[in-house]
Amino acid sequence: MDRKTFQPKKAEVSRDWFIVDAEGKTLGRIASVIAHTLRGKHKPTYANHVDVGDFVIVVNADKVVLTGNKETQKFYYRHSQYPGGLRSTSVKDQREKHPDRIIRSAVRGMLPKNVLGEQQFGKLKVYAGPEHPYARQQPKELAV
């Protein structure tokens, strides 16, 4: 009786394309579904050491909803590594300048902090408006 554990190979992984319309959806809830799909946890061939996830296209990222007062009270921080180099940007300012980074930041925080997480994050495509250049991949609607 042959009872070997299944190990997915990088060459054998098949990837699908999914599209998500972020208009009117809550940021955290949509980000968790996207991260789940990017990691491939919805597939029976999931393995935590191999990137088996699918591609995800997010459109209308500028219309994502944040609950409560997060629009003005939530800040994104970065530091230049120089004294006094802490910079902060509110969600409101980020939405005006780079609306795609709101979803990118939320999803990035839900992925592993290693090389595998970077590979999975590379499969995320975020666009502020309803247009995207991936029509030839025939993306399927992702249920959120």
User: pLDDT digits over 3-16, tens only?
Assistant: 888 889 988 899 99
Q: Considering only CA atoms, which of 41, 20, 36, 33 is closest in space to residue 100?
A: 20
Please report, for residues 3, 55, 59, 110, the alpha-carbon distance to residue 128 in angstroms, rounded to integers and kept in the order given.
Answer: 48, 17, 6, 21
Distance from C-alpha of 135 to C-alpha of 52, rounded to nearest angstrom: 22
The 10s digit of each residue's pLDDT in 100-133 is: 999 999 999 999 999 999 999 999 999 999 999 9
Please report, for residues 39, 57, 122, the alpha-carbon distance to residue 117 in angstroms, rounded to integers and kept in the order given.
Answer: 8, 17, 9
Instruction: Give the pair of three-digit tokens for residue 77.
Output: 């921080």
Q: Considering only CA atoms, which of 42, 65, 44, 66 is closest in space to residue 54?
A: 42
Kindly report the pTM of this predicted structure. Answer: 0.93
- Looking at CATH, the fold of the domain delimited by 16-66+98-141 is given as Ribosomal Protein L13p; Chain: A; (3.90.1180)
